[in-house]
Structure 1
Amino acid sequence: MAGNGERWPDRAEWAGKIYSAGWRASEGGTRQVIEPASGHVLAEVGVASPADVAQAGVRAARAAGDWAAAFPSDRAEILLRASSALREHRDTFRDWIVRESAGVPAKGDYEIIAALAQLTHAVGLVSLPRGEVLAAQAPGGTSLAWRVPLGVVGVINPWNAPLLFAMRALAPALALGNAVLLKPDPLTPVSGGVLVARLFEDAGLPDGVLHVLPGGAETGQAVAADPHVAMVSFTGSTEAGRAVARVAGEGLKRVSLELGGKNSLVVLEDADVAAAALAGAVSTFGYQGQACVAAGRHLVHADLVEAYTDALVGHARSMRVGDPRVEGVTVGPVISARQADRVERIVDASVAGGARVLTGGRRDGLFYPPTVLDHIDRAMPVFTEEIFGPVAPVLSFHSEAEAVEIANDTAYGLTAAVHSGSVPRATAVAGQLRTGMVHINDVSAKDAANAPFGGMGISGNGSRIGGTASLEEFTQWRWMTAPGPV
């Protein structure tokens, strides 16, 4: 990233290294960070080997006790300082998010705002009631139950929202007294790892409490298997989540899985077509559709489907595809050739099966334009598979019952949106959808620091992060009795 005026963080300090009780060379060597839009090399980071992870686990376990014993107000103060540092260096964060993850600057701004919200909410966790006074089993006795930190938490993050997803688990885990091994995705190790480590360095987090260990699947498996790690928080694909769960399960660890989705945006016949189509465009085409909460199906009442599809096609054609750093570009490249191949395969196979392309549908390297398809059969991959690209399949229905049946025809169950002129009616339909989240007259892609985020089915294992759910995830109960008062 030479020539962009970068002053913070000092590249000489972190280039080619991992963060584990300070910046140090890794046994796993180094890896280049490539900008998807240009193919340019942005940086070189260290790759954590299993041996590096093992050493970090030992260091984290040593530091965890003192961190858990720190005054809650002291932990909160460090989170507040990290928040101040993020505000101070937000331009650097935005630049790295844009260049590493290929999102437009607005996507970078959203991640920063959302990460700040996660830090702020985590500060509030330290003051929540931690326990209960239970009915004693004998006269004059004491029975207490309270929450204690887990110890060391492993956080394994994806590339599509590297800063936000790091903070979503890291901030509450630290606030509640845990040490953390953070493994950022190898495609976004700077915005999801290096910069996060520097934030907490600046904030005064004690050495050994946070370790940043970039790497691929081997590094992630080492984090999940490490005997010092009591809990693994994983965000990513369902396939990778299953692999993490298998490894962690051998150690009987707690596992929080936030996985994929095949999310429906349902438009009833009394909906505002223009508003619904705009929400549909944002839900599918925003950040090239590379979000677990993106709308992967547009289910529209037969009376409105033509008007809705026309409006959706209009939005798709109005979006400019290109380098996200160029003013006016709203759709950047997908993250990698592997992901571009996936989108192309799903669309081409569906078209071969009879789907019709109304706009888009032709790849140019990593650039895949906003695409709208109709004539969808429910056996097509565009209906059954998570696309993770800017592709909107449109299907019609004739009744609420049919809409619910189509929306629930998936093993996923992450999120959904329902549009109607009647909020009570939309709420009734939403209540029949098998999803962990649902939004009325809005986009499918929403996130809030105070909300329990997660899905059903193969979209997760029923765990939630956010709000008071984080208290459940990152602590465990301890019970104590005494024959008299304590």
Structure 2
Amino acid sequence: MADGTREDIWPDTTRWTGRIYSDGWRVSEGGTSRVTEPATGEPLAEVGVAAPEDVARAGAGAARAQRAWALAAPLERAEVLLRAARALREHTDVVREWIVRESGGVPAKGDYEIAAGLGQLAQAAGLASLPQGEILTPAVPGQASHAYRVPLGVVAVINPWNAPLLFAMRALAPALVLGNAVLLKPDPHTPVSGGVLVAHLFEEAGLPAGLLHVLPGGAETGRAVVADPHVAMVSFTGSTEAGRAVARTASAGPKRVALELGGKNSIVVLDDADVEAAATAGALSSFGYQGQACVAAGRHLVHADLVEPYTEALLGQARALRVGDPRDHGVALGPVISEHQALRIERIVDESVAAGARVLTGGRRDGLFYPPTVLDRVGRAMPAYREEIFGPVAPVVPFRTDEEAVEIANDTEYGLTAAVHSRSVPRALGVADQLRTGMVHINDVSAKDAPNAPFGGMGASGNGSRVGGTANLEQFTQWRWVTVPEAV
């Protein structure tokens, strides 16, 4: 904009270019890193890279600042989150633009992240007014015994690239409102929308200095953050492989670790399902944001009697989706995040086709642009059946009985989410009860979350931790038991 309004200058690039946010904006010891737009290959920004020395300084500073923050009135902490939400609303256009250009999502994806981020801030602010403890029955009559929650101290949040703003808010908002300080390490692909902008929002909200440190960087930075002796808990969202490495490093602490990892999620379409509605949900689940979500549908399990009409409906959905620069009007799918990710999708599809799968639409990329792809004749030994694809690929797998559908859906090390489609809700719930997943949705998409709901998975999808709603109380605090002897 040319009118000199606040939106025109926010965030002021002269303050943060080549810098990190750690007790103010300052030059990092780790040099700088260039951020590139996946749709065009153009440079977008240059951010500072946090070296281990930066992390050590941040950890010590966060621990000092946290002590006073833990003593602040809970409603005072909540007010900071509400002011951050107000700042996010004021800067929606700028935040959306960064999400679109940095992550390759369409504007609607940016709007979703902003709305969901606002929801996380509001929900977290509400935690401040909930009961923080309980009165216990004393061992001896006349004594007092009670237990209450206290902050952990310093929480490390390691953020992914696929929903950088949302996932940052999902962890740091409850961590802060419950009295912790935060070290936030955004992914190298999205350090602005997942880090720099977050710092600006909380700076504008008046968060006291030292409570939030944004430490961009790669694996070396991540290891330093996890291993820092001041860090009491690590909240990690990312691949299962990386999550296992985080857990190994954190175990030397030992530290609390919350892992939200990958998924091989199923859309289960029973023989009495509404085919068109199920195919619409299936398309949204597999193709939304190029399939780059842990909750994306990685298998479409369809009753054999419905395979033909379901596949035709799914193909119609896939072929109607336009692929291109996400800033162009009418584009539904932008680029995948990187060449590495494009090669992974390509390998999974090509190896599956070589083993006998059939491409019904899509299957050939143009640079980082991978079209919606539908596969059938997918066997259980094929990569498209077994691996998390993290791309816009929908493998269709037939079944004959409800029991077989359950067996196929559970035939994976993952256990994040699922969807079951049937005109009979009791029947769908009966199938859902047998699925080894942390979440399941009836007659809906697999890719679903809400700020007041416990979000997380089982097996290789996570370590049983949950974020969202009141689950955050257990996640970001610990119990303290206090007794008082009988009064004289």
TM-score range for the pair, normalised by the shorter chain length? over 0.9
- The match for 2:331 is 329
Match of 1:154, SS state, is strand
Match of 1:270, SS state, is coil
Alpha carbons of structure 1 residues 485 and 110: separation in structure 2 relative to 1, 3 Å: farther
Q: Separation in 2 of the partners of 1:83 and 1:484?
A: 47
Deviation at 1:476, TM superposition (A): 0.1
- The match for 1:156 is 158
Q: How does 1:335-484 map to 2 (within 5 A)?
A: 335-484=337-486
- The match for 1:91 is 93
- The match for 2:233 is 231
Q: Indicate conservation of the 8 Å contact 1:237/1:260, yes or no.
A: yes
Q: TM-score, normalised by structure 1?
A: 0.99
Alpha carbons of structure 1 residues 334 and 139: separation in structure 2 relative to 1, 3 Å: same
Letter paired with 2:93:
D
Deviation at 1:55, TM superposition (A): 0.3
Alpha carbons of structure 1 residues 141 and 281: separation in structure 2 relative to 1, 3 Å: same
Q: Separation in 2 of the partners of 1:140 and 1:422?
A: 56
Q: How does 1:17-416 map to 2 (within 5 A)?
A: 17-416=19-418
Alpha carbons of structure 1 residues 70 and 485: separation in structure 2 relative to 1, 3 Å: farther
Q: Indicate conservation of the 8 Å contact 1:264/1:417, yes or no.
A: yes
Q: Separation in 1 of the partners of 2:11 and 2:212?
A: 17
Deviation at 1:331, TM superposition (A): 0.5
Match of 2:359, SS state, is strand
Deviation at 1:237, TM superposition (A): 0.1
Deviations 1:396-425 (A, max 9, x none): 000000000000000000000000000111
Q: TM-score, normalised by structure 2?
A: 0.98
> Which structure 1 residue ranges, 4+ long, deviate > 2 Å from structure 2?
none
Deviation at 1:139, TM superposition (A): 2.4
- The match for 1:12 is 14
Q: Separation in 2 of the partners of 1:447 and 1:138?
A: 46
Q: Separation in 2 of the partners of 1:269 and 1:485?
A: 69
Letter paired with 1:287:
Y
Deviations 1:43-88 (A, max 9, x none): 0000001110000000000000000100111101111100000000
Q: Separation in 2 of the partners of 1:216 and 1:143?
A: 47
Letter paired with 2:425:
V
Q: Separation in 2 of the partners of 1:75 and 1:41?
A: 37
Match of 1:304, SS state, is helix
Deviation at 1:485, TM superposition (A): 5.4
Deviations 1:252-284 (A, max 9, x none): 100000000000000001000000000000000
Letter paired with 1:478:
R
Q: Indicate conservation of the 8 Å contact 1:414/1:459, yes or no.
A: yes
Q: Indicate conservation of the 8 Å contact 1:34/1:42, yes or no.
A: yes
Q: Indicate conservation of the 8 Å contact 1:153/1:232, yes or no.
A: yes
Match of 1:218, SS state, is helix
Deviations 1:363-404 (A, max 9, x none): 110000000000010000000000000000001000000000
Q: Separation in 2 of the partners of 1:56 and 1:341?
A: 36
User: How many residue pairs get matched?
Assistant: 486
Letter paired with 1:431:
D
Deviation at 1:481, TM superposition (A): 1.0
Letter paired with 2:11:
P
Q: Separation in 2 of the partners of 1:146 and 1:235?
A: 28
Deviation at 1:6, TM superposition (A): 4.3
Q: Separation in 1 of the partners of 2:78 and 2:323?
A: 42
Q: Separation in 1 of the partners of 2:280 and 2:50?
A: 43
Q: Indicate conservation of the 8 Å contact 1:142/1:485, yes or no.
A: no
RMSD over equivalenced CA pairs, Å: 1.4
Mark the runs of 5 or more structure 2 residues left unpaired by the alignment. Answer: none
Q: Separation in 1 of the partners of 2:272 and 2:468?
A: 33
Mark the runs of 5 or more structure 1 residues left unpaired by the alignment. Answer: none
Deviations 1:3-57 (A, max 9, x none): x984201000010000001000000000000000000000000000111000000
Deviation at 1:142, TM superposition (A): 1.0
Match of 2:29, SS state, is coil
Q: Separation in 2 of the partners of 1:485 and 1:317?
A: 77
Match of 1:327, SS state, is coil
Q: Separation in 2 of the partners of 1:63 and 1:169?
A: 19
Letter paired with 1:310:
E
Q: Separation in 2 of the partners of 1:469 and 1:122?
A: 11
Match of 2:9, SS state, is coil
Percent identical across equivalent pairs?
76
Q: Indicate conservation of the 8 Å contact 1:414/1:454, yes or no.
A: yes
Q: Separation in 2 of the partners of 1:135 and 1:401?
A: 47
Q: Separation in 2 of the partners of 1:232 and 1:114?
A: 22
Deviation at 1:484, TM superposition (A): 2.6
Letter paired with 2:22:
S
